[in-house]
Amino acid sequence: MTSNSNLSNMRRLVEQLKLEASVERIKVSQAAAELQQYCLQNATKDALLVGVPTGSNPFREPRSCAVV
């Protein structure tokens, strides 16, 4: 019967919500600080952010393009 399947769906939903509610959380300030730290620590390796030495990027065509 449809009602029975609705019932089991609702039971599953309640169990799922209980599970999600029990997740351990940290403050956004701490989470944000860690995201920022990761960015800054890896910035120098990020070619799309800082560029790469002239000629070493395989996708660059050989032309004079200034890389700061």
Would you tell me which residues interact with another protein (CB under 8 A)? Answer: 1-4, 6-7, 10-11, 13-14, 16-21, 23, 25-36, 38-43, 45-52, 57-61, 65-68
Q: How far is CA 67 from CA 10, 46, 48, 59, in A?
A: 59, 14, 12, 15
Question: Helix, strand, coil % (nearest 5) of the chain?
Answer: 60, 0, 40
What is the closest distance, in whole angstroms, from the C-beta atom of residue 22 to another protein in the complex? 10
What is the closest distance, in whole angstroms, from the C-beta atom of residue 33 to another protein in the complex? 6
